[in-house]
Amino acid sequence: MQLKSIRSLLFLPATADHLLPKATERGADALVVDLEDAIPPDRKAEARPMARAAVAQLAARGARVVLRVNSEPALWQQDLQGMPLQSLAAVMLPKVETLAQLEAFAQALAAHAAAGGEQGPPPPPIAALLETPRGVLAAAQVAVHPALCALGFGAEDYAGALGVPPEPAALTWPAHQVLTCAHANGLACWGLAGSIAVVDDVAAFEHTVRAGRAMGFTGSVCIHPRQVPIVNRGFSPSTAERTWAARVVAADEAARAAGLGAVLLDGRMIDRPIVERARRWLAFKE
């Protein structure tokens, strides 16, 4: 699975080693070993060797593993020490607010990868998490960095910075800003314009996920296993969408055979942008 096809990313606190045995059975497209928000400051040092062991163990079991480091340089330097970077699909850098901040991290990540020898694998790509007003305003500058594979929008942190609940009224514009910059640069974009803390209200979370896909997000993080199937389903083409897409492609092929550039289907003109969307839905792998 390509990184742009990732729908669900399930967080695993680095210190929660009791969650590891069943982590790969939860159905998530990627597992995020977390050294940031899930770890209290006084447990960061304890968490780092546990994170290294978790990354190696999960990767050995075939999981696509992502590491979320801390945002402060003094901390992420320690987070990267001894980390089996070759086992990582990506590294999440939180609280990104400037291109210079991202560049410093990218250089350090490359240096750690190179320390393993000149013939070693390249460093894993970076997912920059934009979680503050400054970060959202810097999205266009940050998104051009060649080390990136994704942008992430941190709805909870952004709402906290504004001092408001994580609801669409406050989150829709910044979410659009982040995902537009991501798509403009060919990146995945993970996030929702709503809270990811909703665990018990399935209907509410499903609504937020569907709205996220409709906006243009390509996936979302999950903080609880029960969110994973909702996110996977919400960010996948439905059966009805696949059926429609197949009819669109067939109609387009018939039109091309007749020398036509567009065709009418179900009372709607089908042209190139619509056909491209249909082909993407048909190519989507569960």
Q: Is 18 in the same domain as 102?
A: yes
Q: Is 269 in the same domain as 193?
A: no
Cβ partners under 8 Å of residue 223, min gap 6: 11, 196, 197, 199
Token pair recorded at residue 174: 């910044």
130-144, 150-164, 209-223, 246-260, range with the lowest pLDDT: 246-260
29-41 residue pLDDT tens = 999 999 999 999 9
Q: How confident is the model at residue 165 (pLDDT cuts 50, 70, 90)?
A: very high
Q: Is 254 in the same domain as 231?
A: no
State yes or no: pLDDT of 262 exceeds 90: no
196 close to 154: Cβ distance less than 8 angstroms: no
Token pair recorded at residue 133: 């007003």
Q: Is 230 in the same domain as 263?
A: no
3-state secondary structure of 222: strand
State yes or no: pLDDT of 120 exceeds 80: no
- In DSSP terms, 47 is beta-bridged to none
Alpha carbon distance 181, 220 (integer Å): 17
Q: Is 108 in the same domain as 207?
A: yes
Q: Is 184 in the same domain as 275?
A: no
Q: Is 221 in the same domain as 275?
A: no
Alpha carbon distance 104, 178 (integer Å): 21
Give the total number of structural domains in the chain.
2
Q: Give me the amino acid identity at 109.
A: L
How many CB atoms within 10 Å of residue 282?
14
CATH code, 93? 3.20.20.60
Q: Is 191 in the same domain as 271?
A: no
47-101 residue pLDDT tens = 999 999 999 999 999 999 999 999 999 999 999 999 999 999 999 999 999 999 9
State yes or no: pLDDT of 25 exceeds 80: yes
180-208 residue pLDDT tens = 999 999 999 999 999 999 899 999 999 99
Domain stop point among 198, 220, 236: 236
Q: Is 48 in the same domain as 172?
A: yes
Q: Is 254 in the same domain as 273?
A: yes
Q: Is 90 in the same domain as 182?
A: yes
Say what the pLDDT of residue 1 is. Answer: 47
Average pLDDT, the chain: 92
Q: Is 64 in the same domain as 155?
A: yes
Say what the pLDDT of residue 245 is. Answer: 73
Alpha carbon distance 280, 213 (integer Å): 14
Residue span of the structural domain in which 37 resides: 3-236
